Structure 1
Amino acid sequence: MKCPKVVIVPGNGAGDVEHCNWYGWTKKQIDLIAGVTCLLRNMPDPVTARESIWLPFMEQGLHCDDSTVVIGHSSGAAAAMRYAETHKLCAIVLVGAYTSDLGDSNERESGYFSRPWEWEKIRSNCQHIVQFGSTDDPFLPWSEQQLVADSLQAHLHKFTDRGHFQNSQFPELVSAVQELLLE
């Protein structure tokens, strides 16, 4: 197996990530796959999710590398994309990805949106890019989600009824990760 490690990078403000959204459930499902390790940790600076703190933690604390599938949700998707600009990864799986600070001061303070995205570097550093988005997301305009998909040539799973993917289970995500791991 070329990608024996999966890391879930949650959205900001997630609290205890093991019991938030679909994160803990997904970790348990991935842990059932033989030969695969799944990491899910509470992130430092969980509210602002500063790039200057999260990216070093992804490198030094979670050891994301070219044998890692990074699943990023919301702010975690922004972190995964910025990380992939400068690090080789097996794959990124983006859930609720977006391209701007959306006019929000906390998002602006995170640092992810202070410069243009380096789409070509992300594509060249990732063997696979999968994206999940929903047209009814109350926080993210579809135009930004579509821009991510187009710019990264991502394998897009488009929904109309998932909002910001804050449900407690996410079987489609687990299936997509299983497919990546078996390629």
Structure 2
Amino acid sequence: GLESARRAERRLTHLAAERAEVDRQARADEDQLHDAEGWLVGWETARAALRARIEAAQEAAGRAEQLAVRRESARTRLEAARTRDRLTGEAAQAQRSALDSAEHAVQARNRWLDLKEQRLNGIAAELAAGLTDGTPCAVCGATEHPAPARKVAGHVDRAAEERAQTDHQDAEEQRARDERRLAAVREALAAAT
């Protein structure tokens, strides 16, 4: 009897303790379940917000790529426009230089031809300067020179004519360089437009 009642009492105490532990675990499980349900309810909202941010970021990245392509295209067009403007200015300057050097070459040629003509007109005086009595004339062979031609004021000698010819050749070379430069700039301008 008594022993059996004591065992039953111990068993009852043990069962009461087990039940208290099971109740505590059940409450803990309910709390955890409640927290999980709360988190899951918030999860759909958080998930939708994160998905929207991802989609917005992907769309922004796509727009950024498109804008980068457009920016590069605009930068290329801007550089081409700047090159065209620079070459247009260079072409105008090269045109002026070519015209100036062509005019200078014509003037140098005319000066050279004028001096050549003046020298030819005064060549008799130049030849007469080398005549001495008793020595035959290089033109007619006479040994007497009663009235040799005299140099007049402004007489043009060989050195002056040669200087004028050299000036003319230099001016022609400059004209040719300026025309080549003009052609090169025009070609570059045509390629840039």
Query: Structure 1 or 2: larger helix share?
Result: 2
Rg larger in structure? 2
Which category of TM-score, normalised to the shorter sequence, fits these structures? under 0.3
Using the size of structure 2 for normalisation, the TM-score is 0.17
**TM-score calculated relative to the size of structure 1:** 0.18
Greater relative contact order (Cα < 8 A, sep 6+): 2
